Structure 1
Amino acid sequence: MIEKRQFYIDGTWVDPRDGRDHAVIDPATEEPCATISLGGQADTDAAVAAAKRALPGWMATPPEERIAALERVYAAYKARTEDLAQAISLEMGAPIALARSAQVGAGIAHLKTFIRAARDFPWEAPLGDHAPDDRILHEAVGVCALITPWNWPMNQVTLKVGAALVSGNTMVLKPSEESPLSAVILAEIMDAAELPAGVFNMVNGDGAGVGSQLSAHPDVDMVSFTGSTRAGIAISKAAADTLKRVHLELGGKGANLLFADADDKAVKRGVLHMMNNSGQSCNAPSRMLVESTIYDKVVEEAAAVAAKVEVGPPSEDGRHIGPVVNETQWHKIQDLIQKGIDEGARLVAGGTGRPEGFNKGFYVRPTVFADVTNDMTIAREEIFGPVLSILKFDTEEEAVRIANDTPYGLTNYVQSGDDQRRIRMARQLRSGMVEMNGQPRGAGAPFGGMKASGNGREAGSWGIHDFVEVKAVSGWAAE
């Protein structure tokens, strides 16, 4: 049994002041694999106070020194990749191959991109030729609370920590209590990077405890949160009394538009993208919208692809999917699959219950529904499991209407060989991101959404912008 009860506050590992034990459950076995402490108000206050003390000095540190600090974090992170992968696989059930490549690899990519973006960032720049004595300064927001989810732990932690650090902020990280082991390693990485005491702090806790305390804390200047829309609303309300900045990356219900001229790999690509990480991605293409002339063929192919998706233990190497994160999530997914059946969608792959061969563990059968209408529960709610809904459309206009008929607006997808059609779709789809023909967004492209998917952008220079204030100065003397 792993025991990680301490918090990282003011440059050292400390025992909880107001903690209580919390068991981390291995989703593959349903058994405890670790014990951590969930902090209380005294722990939150101590971490925020340490960040507040460290803020003036870190804000005043020149950008090149902050960049050098981030480079040390990057090097220390790369040295711990296998430890991170093993922790992520154990705590949230990611297959070890996925944990090593995508889960841990995302953090490497983000940190590297922040280093490059920070070197080119206009920390101090002239307003313009018309005002030679005016300067625009970009400086830290202040003490930042970073509240991160369990589904892509290091992806989200590095997006926040990297941007906050290089921008001159100090911070308190509250990782998900479902995936705290990788965050403990991240705190060890930050310690190895020899940052000034108090610049980075970590307190484990749950949303109702440390999460709420940070959101309402008068000495926290900004909250950056990734998680459910419901929790994002609660954080916004808690933060309102102190007028702190709030950055939210929330849920999604992405539409994947397949036109008749889509390439031969579009269906398989869409199904496998949906099933990746056991469907536990906010940007998953969970609604496949298919042009009516190819609908029957696509349904048949999608069902066949899903039927071949293997489910297996996270500890085994391979390209299978693992369990979902916990019992609560497993039951929610089962209820929504049953709801799809009850509301008249046609089940063409998967269904309720565990996959064949499993009598324990939070494993879900890769599931595909056809004949879904956009008013059905499975088309409206974020399922956060390996469940795909297929809908039919006749025209471009109808495809756009269905795609946009959702509270969410994170990522949409377009599959078409018609260049002008793709451009039309990209302009009309109401989402922060649009990916077309399987081409991923480039390194440093902004990640974030609109509507119930949140606000703000993460990654690259866009992520740095979200962690700085803009100061306009006149009468600037030439240096």
Structure 2
Amino acid sequence: MTLTLRPRRDQVGLSDGQLLVDGKWRPAADGRTWTHRHPATGEEIGTFAVASTSDVDDAVRAARRAFDEGDWPNSRATTRIQLLHRFANLLREHAEELRGLQALDNGVPLSFSAGVYATSVGAAADVVDHHAGWVDKVGGQTLPPYQGGDHLAMTFREPIGVVAAILPWNAPFLLFAQKLGPALAAGCTVVVKPSEFASFTVLRMVELLGEAGLPDGVVNLVTGPGDPTGEALITHPLVDKVSFTGSRAVGRRIVEASAGTLKRVSLELGGKSPTLVFPDAPDVGMAAMTTMGTVTMGLSGQACVAHTRALVHRDVYDQFLGAAELLAGMVTYGDPFEPTTTASPLINTRQLERVLGFIERGRDGGARLVCGGERVAGDLAEGNFVRPTIFADVDNGMEIAREEIFGPVLAVVPFTDEDEAVRLANDTEYGLGAGVYTTDVKRAFRVARRLRAGTVGINGFQIEPHLPFGGFRQSGLGREGGQSAFEAYTELKTVLMPLTDEMM
């Protein structure tokens, strides 16, 4: 029987989406809408408004008024703290509903969004709570006058202004919180644009912000694809900062667009993260299953920090491959609302074709296909499902070892010693994450310090709300999480004041 998800729409309570501008929900000015097709079935699930250039202009100007004329940027610390805590609690109260909406957006199974912290609603709530804690703690300095004299030298941190927050489709809970949490805590106003492939989740989260008591105009929502909606937002002259998570191509376009007005920019642009497995790893089999899990379980490798390159010492190479293949065989596809489903489809047919193209070229290029490599047939033939795929004996110069495939494909590269492992790991244009598996504490820290990556996990990998997250090289600019994220939504101002009647 062919899978259908239409009955889930009523079960979750999904309704068609509109734009939020200055506290009012409304359709697009020109009436355009986007029809969302579910990646697991190809069925039409719902529609939402496509914001035109004029709609985006209205939203940005509403955010501008709320910043320049409203109370939010200069509100009492307790006002922002209490509102953010209320929002975090509302997220927790509506966790089941939100997970259902995400399943209708991107097909991430409920079993994964409930059981894996980084993709859970609870993690998003924790991020919001964490940033609420910075509201009354990040300030400036009072410095002694460098040249002598009787005056004060002070610095202040002030909100940066109007923020364009552009979200990806794969982790709407976490990315919404990582962008809006620090922006609102700092006193900024926001225009948020979700991916056209995961808008219903974000629509509901914005509604919950309103229920928490956020003033009109502080957060505005525009939905639609990159053209026209995203382009109008990143090029708008009244936007002070763009925070974006997504592809390198779009990240480069944002940098180009920001040049005219010198917008501040934060970018998280993906990776080709390596796992380094040494022969003294505490459990080679578990290292293999954990690595393969990031490539297959839940998002099916459609995660920026998925460890899609496994650099494995030759002494434990076959053991690693055997355990990784075992995990690949445990992956189950199907209805994301069923507890037995463990992994999602690829987000759309374009991504499906892209991943299958990488697999074909990997096979033709000389890599050894261990398992997978084909589309799932049968009852799931209408969905964008690709079986978990492992390539062995991969040369680090091959395309499948260098490009971010964004699918359930693991490239396994052998190495002989530590220096070779580090060289291979760093031989990439990316630098987002990495993993090191060893029981030698000195090696663990030595290798972690040598790796050119923003986050390195030793014998495991996780994301925490209070830690900075971001990458080196072409994995992006700036960090999300922790104090550094809060400061990224502020400008630093210097004030000089004489203490006498004499001019400085």
Assess same fold via TM > 0.5: yes
Equivalent of 1:242, from 261, 264, 287?
261
Residue in structure 1 matched with residue 5 of structure 2 by the alignment? none
Distance 1:474 1:330, change over 3 A: same
- Structure 2 unaligned runs (5+)? 1-8, 500-504
Give yes or no for contact 1:136–1:471 (8 Å, CA) kept in 2.
yes
Q: Does the CA-based 8 Å contact 1:367-1:388 persist in structure 2?
A: yes
Report the more deviating stretch, 36-45 or 295-304.
Answer: 295-304
**TM-superposition CA deviations, 1:131-168 (whole Å, max 9, x none):** 99333211111000000000111111111011110100
Asked if 1:16 corresponds to 2:28, the answer is: yes
Matching of residues 280-429 of structure 1 within 5 Å? 280-318=302-340, 320-354=342-376, 358-429=380-451
Residue equivalent to 1:37? 49
- How many residues align? The count is 476
The answer to whether structure 1 residue 48 and structure 2 residue 60 are counterparts is: yes
Deviation at 1:393, TM superposition (A): 0.7
| Code of the aligned partner of 2:23 | G
Contact 1:5 1:16 in 2 (8 A): no
CA deviations on 1:233-280 (whole Å, 9 max, x unpaired) are 011101111111111011100000000001112122211122232111
Aligned to 1:172: 191
Q: 1:106 aligns with which of 103, 117, 123?
A: 123
Question: Could you tell me which residue of structure 2 aligns to residue 74 of structure 1?
Answer: 88
Q: Which letter maps to 1:29?
A: T
- Aligned-partner Cα distance in 2 for 1:310–1:13: 39
CA contact (8 A) 1:147 1:223 kept: yes
Shift, 1:465, TM fit? 1.2
Match of 1:126 among 139, 142, 149: 142
- Residue pair 2:144, 2:152 contacting (<8 A) in 1 also: no
Counterpart code for 2:168: P
Q: Partner of 1:375: helix, strand, or coil?
A: coil
Look up the equivalent residue of 1:90 and give its one-letter code. Answer: L
* CA drift at 1:424: 1.2
- Structure 1 stretch displaced more, 93-102 or 224-233: 93-102
3-state SS, counterpart of residue 281 of structure 1: coil
Is 1:268 aligned to residue 289 of structure 2? yes
Contact 1:435 1:441 in 2 (8 A): no
| Matched residue SS, 2:58 | helix
CA distance in 2, matches of 1:345, 1:475: 67
Q: Which residue is 1:145 aligned to?
A: 164
Aligned to 2:176: 157
Assess if the C-alpha contact under 8 Å between 2:91 and 2:121 holds in 1: no
Find the aligned partners of 1:128 and 1:348 in 2 and give their Cα distance. 65
- 1:280-299 C-alpha deviation (Å, 9 max, x unpaired): 11000000000111112222
The corresponding residue for 2:251 is: 232
Cross-structure match for 1:4? 16
Inter-CA distance 318–460: structure 2 relative to 1 (3 Å threshold): farther
Aligned-pair CA distance for 1:472: 1.7
Q: Indicate the residue corresponding to 1:93 in structure 2.
A: 107
Identify if the C-alpha distance between structure 1 residues 316 and 199 changes in structure 2 by more than 3 Å, giving closer, same or farther. same
Cα distance, 1:442 vs structure 2: 4.0
Distance 1:95 1:309 in 2: 12
Picking from 223, 238, 241, the partner of 1:204 is 223
Among residues 111, 117, 134, which one is paired with 1:117 in the alignment? 134
Distance 1:97 1:439 in 2: 20
Contact residue 135 and residue 476 of structure 1 kept, 8 A: no
Q: TM-score, normalised by structure 2?
A: 0.91
- 1:128, CA displacement in angstroms? 6.5
Local SS of the residue matching 1:4: coil
Q: TM-score, with normalisation over the residues of structure 1?
A: 0.95
Partner of 1:278, secondary structure, is coil
State the Cα distance separating 1:357 from its structure 2 match: 5.2
* Equivalent-residue separation in structure 1 for 2:385 and 2:464 (angstroms): 33
User: 1:326: Cα distance to partner?
Assistant: 1.2
